[in-house]
Structure 1
Amino acid sequence: MTTYAKHYPIRWADLDPNGHMRHSAYNDYAAQLRLDYLTDAGFPLAQFAKLGIGPILFREDTRFLKEISPNETIKVDAQLAGLSPDGSRWRIVHTVYKQDGRASATITVDGAWLDLRQRKLAVPPVELATALSQLTHHSTYGEIERRPKAE
């Protein structure tokens, strides 16, 4: 399993009028990290276009712990908190760390894959499901069960 993390410098555009990182910037960095991970795992955006699928979110829960100031460099990591057997549903927990190493926020996202042509949920190629399964498992990891369609 792989612990995936990257460092990002805080930009002027990341700040709010209070002089610290704005709330939505935390989620932007978590999203960027997910895309970076998928690219590094062999699934850049162009590959998703060829496959006709893309990631979507059902839920995004952010817990703010410590403020981030201008000119800090943050670290963002990703851990897998859940995956369905076919790889179609997933949960990822991100931790955003201040430059001094203290946790600043946790972001939990629940997502799936969308067939971009049919506009329906899709099962990803095995290689993509395998790539996700290679992330370090979070302490809350559990298999995600697919819910049957409502009739």
Structure 2
Amino acid sequence: MISENFSKNICEKNLITQKRVVSPDFIDCNQHVSESSYYKIAIDVLQDLHRELGLNDCFSAEQTAPIVFSSNIEFFREVFVDEEITISVVLLPESINFRKWRRIFEIYNQAGELSAKIISQGAFFDLQTRKVKAPSLKLYEAFRSHNLLAMADIDK
């Protein structure tokens, strides 16, 4: 497994970041970003990155795509309507062959303080056999070349 310190240090480097302005749609009765909205914001950023970087085409051509098994959100600071937030995302291999991975989103408020961290465990999924599999070298290189992949010492 990859150490938490490694994960923390990688995310502080903000390998991939995007900025968004929080709309009223994301605000709950406490007048801050709702629990489900943090996840929606993060996944919207991820889907936009996949489109912009051509990864959706790669998933289609390789008939392999990421699948999530579990996600956990930790909350640290509030975020309010009209704040400009920064979202970072990185994928950490959890196995030598990159079959399994951990994805980390960090969401920072306008003051640059960590507001939420979303950690998901997942794997690559064969779109035809509907089973988990290791990605092709081409898919691995697509993630690495776009700085979406962080490497560390990995135990099997």
Tell me if TM exceeds 0.5.
yes
Aligned to 1:107, the other structure's residue is in SS state strand
State the superposition RMSD in angstroms: 2.4
1:10 corresponding residue in structure 2: 22
Map 1:121-140 → 2, pairs under 5 A: 121-133=132-144, 134-135=147-148, 137=150
Query: Which residue number corresponds to residue 64 of structure 2?
Result: 53
| Larger fraction in strand | 1
Structure 1: gaps spanning 5 or more residues: 146-151
1:40 CA displacement:
4.1
Cα distance in 2 for partners of 1:20, 1:99 equals: 13
2-structure distance, mates of 1:89, 1:72: 34
Which residue matches 1:116? 127
Identity %: 25
User: Which residue type is aligned with residue 19 of structure 1?
Assistant: Q
1:16: Cα distance to partner?
1.3
The residue type equivalent to 1:121 in the other structure is V
Distance 1:2 1:84, change over 3 A: farther
Query: Does 1:31 pair with 2:43?
Result: yes
Greater share of residues in helix: 2
Q: Provide closer, same or farther for how the CA distance between residues 47 and 137 of structure 1 changes in structure 2, counting only shifts above 3 A.
A: closer
Runs of 4+ in 1 over 6 A off after TM superposition: none
Give the length in aligned residue pairs. 142
1:8 CA drift (Å)? 1.0
Task: State the distance in 2 between where 1:142 and 1:27 align.
Answer: 28
